[in-house]
Structure 1
Amino acid sequence: MSFKDELKGIIPAEELHRLPNRFDIIGDIAVVSVPDEMKIYNEDIARIIMGMMQNIRTVLNKVSKLEGNKRVADFEIIAGNSTETVHREFGLSYRIDLKNSFFNGRLSYERKRIASLVKAGEDVLVPFSGVGPFAIPAAAAGAKIVAVEMNGNACKSFTKNCKLNKVEKNVHIINADANCIPNMLNMEFDRAIIPTPYGMDHFLESISSLVRTGGYVHFYTFKPKEEIPELIEKYEGMGFEVEFYRRCGNVAPGISRWVFDLRKRDILFR
């Protein structure tokens, strides 16, 4: 039974449909997006969520989308007293303060999948690294990571998370704008993992020159399904072989997050 089903009889049916069908869980925090006109039901929503999920200690209402260069949303606490938590997935742990750093709990499968492809000794570039959820599993697999993140608070948490997961020797964190990567780094990588923010597809072209021939790029983008064939053709024209792609969930009506596993061929940007 969904939490919306649990709210039937508490919230009138003519209003209940406005509430999203799901909430996110990050550590012991539940994150829900309650429309402004439904805030009078915040306590009821929090009570139902905490009743369904016994491990939840805090319920946050996401009151804004990701904003600014640091990609941080605003939250209001509707139950509990903290925006800090420890999120665990596949044997790794991440300390996060959601008021300071972005974290997407819905990409846990992708993080495991990508880490399973990484080989020990590889040089791996991870822009938009956040608190480390893509970089740390790759480091745990034995790769040498260069991670770039412009949010200073996220970098501090990332540093702590490296120590927490005992991979600090494999990770070099740079607190900088990912736009500066081509000018900052004078090396080639075996692999790049790029969890691109919305609207920043240009990073594929700017960063791919740092990937060795035969190397891989795992590129995340936001597109409607009907644009995927054209996108595959574009990537092939840029000198990549599209080895695999999949949808990683909806983010807006008609728009999904997609991942492309790209192998760099001999000729780039024909």
Structure 2
Amino acid sequence: MKKMEQIIAETVSSDMAHLIPARFDVLGDIAVVQIPPDIGPYKRAIAEAIVENRRDINVVLNKITKLTGDSRTASFECLLGNRFTTDYREYGYVYRIDLANAFFNSRLSYERQRIQSQVKTDEMVVVPFSGVGPFAIPAAKKATVVAVDSNHRACRLLKYNSRINSVEDNLSIVHSDACSIRSMFSQDFDRAIVPAPYGMDRFLKIISDCIKKGGMIHFYTFKKEHQIPELIHTYHRSGLDVRFYRRCGNVAPGVSRWALDLIKT
């Protein structure tokens, strides 16, 4: 994410300057901005200013809706360029992403690296809601991984990404609803990495039934900070000990995404 004010300070009139978004995301050669309607007439000029100051950017998209639907994708307006796909690089891995048709969050890069460092070579790992593979592919460098996603486009990109990152022999892709995961496999897993969508806390019970005793679940949920202590007690009562937790991004006023590492007891 890059500072925006300095890049476009001379593009928008001074009385509108306070409406300029503070930052924009860069994914590969695509910049993603969120321009308020009040400065809509400046959209093209803002996009041109970004490209002029960032020569590695070829496409500028204006995000016009929040994530919606089972695919967890947003709607975008093309301000410069006319595509939604790009190659995104992270910690030595390359991911082909499609912002309009498959979920991807660049702001979880630290989390992906943190979890990969815990994966062991002899493990069986399952990744529900796998998307294009940013959690599954690093894990597959070490372990045997099963990735599950209901989005056909995401599964196709994951297959491509597994090949270009040379992990296709260690990664199986299942195009299916992750909520049916218990019926898909006869074996239990050593580890689950669960970047669950908003409002999917019920999935923790589903996935915990698929994990060996002593196994690890990396679970993501969306809560206010004051809810976390009671949440930890609830997990403990259900047979899941919280070994580590951290906030990893705000999603709404007072609401954050939380990462929790849980051991099944």
Matches within 5 A, 1:37-76: 37-76=38-77
1:217 to 1:37, Cα distance in 2 relative to 1, 3 A: same
Alignment partner, residue 179 of structure 2? 179
Deviation at 1:187, TM superposition (A): 1.5
Deviation at 1:17, TM superposition (A): 3.1
Q: Does 1:229 align with 2:239?
A: no
Match of 1:212 in 2: 212
Relative distance call for 1:198 and 1:13 in structure 2 (3 A) is farther
What is the deviation of 1:14? 4.6
* CA deviations over 1:5-52 (Å, ceiling 9, x no partner): 433343245533334322111111111111233221111221232233
Change in Cα spacing, 1:178 to 1:16, as seen in structure 2 (3 Å) is farther
Aligned length: 264
Alignment match, 1:268 = none
1:3 touches 1:48 (CA, 8 Å); kept in 2? no
Q: Tell me what 2:161 maps to.
A: 161
2:79, 2:37 → 1: CA distance?
A: 13
Quick check: 2:11–2:46 contact (8 Å CA) kept in 1? no
Q: Corresponding residue for 2:246?
A: 246
Which segment drifts farther, 155-164 or 74-83? Answer: 74-83
Cα distance change on mapping 1:40 and 1:110 into 2, 3 Å: same
Coordinate RMSD, CA, aligned: 1.5
Residue of structure 1 equivalent to 2:147: 147
5+ residue gaps, structure 2: none
Q: Distance in 2 between matches of 1:45 and 1:129?
A: 34
Structural mapping, 1:56-135, within 5 Å: 56-135=57-136
Q: Which amino acid in 1 is paired with 2:52?
A: G
Q: For 2:246 and 2:146, how far apart are their aligned partners in 1?
A: 25
Partner SS state of residue 201, structure 1: coil
Q: Which letter does structure 2 place at the counterpart of 1:79?
A: L
Counting aligned pairs with the same residue, the percent is 51
Does the 8 Å CA contact 1:86/1:96 hold for their aligned counterparts?
yes
Secondary structure, in 3 states, of the residue corresponding to 1:256?
Answer: strand
For residues 8 and 23 of structure 1, the distance between their equivalents in structure 2, rounded to whole angstroms, comes to: 14
Report if aligned partners of 1:195, 1:220 keep a CA contact under 8 Å in 2: yes
Contact 1:130–1:149 (8 Å) recurs in 2: yes
User: Once the 2 structures are TM-superposed, how far is the Cα of residue 82 of structure 1 from its aligned partner?
Assistant: 1.8
Structure 1 residues 204 and 19 mapped into 2: Cα distance closer, same or farther (>3 Å)?
Answer: farther
Q: Distance in 2 between matches of 1:53 and 1:258?
A: 32
Say whether residues 1:198 and 2:198 are aligned partners: yes
Point out where structure 1 has 5 or more consecutive residues left out of the alignment: 266-270
Q: What is the alpha-carbon distance in structure 1 between the residues aligned to residue 52 and residue 222 of structure 2?
A: 34
Partner of 1:3: 4
Aligned AA (2:260):
F
**In 1, Cα distance between equivalents of 2:14 and 2:173:** 49
In the other structure, the counterpart of 1:15 is 16
Contact 2:29 2:86 (C-alpha < 8 Å) held by counterparts = yes
Aligned-pair CA distance for 1:164: 0.5
CA contact (8 A) 1:19 1:33 kept: no
1:196–1:19 CA distance, 2 compared to 1 (3 A): farther
Letter in 2 for 1:88: R
Q: Which amino acid aligns with 1:241?
A: D
Counterpart Cα distance in 1 of 2:61 and 2:49: 13
Cα distance between partner residues in 2 of 1:72 and 1:145: 25
Give the letter for the 1:77 counterpart: C
TM-score, normalised to structure 2, is 0.95
Superimposed CA distance per residue, residues 229-250 of structure 1 (whole angstroms, 9 cap, x where no aligned partner): 1111111111111111111111
- 2-structure distance, mates of 1:72, 1:118: 29
The separation in 2 between residues aligned to 1:57 and 1:95, in whole angstroms, is 16
> Structure 1 length normalisation: TM-score?
0.93
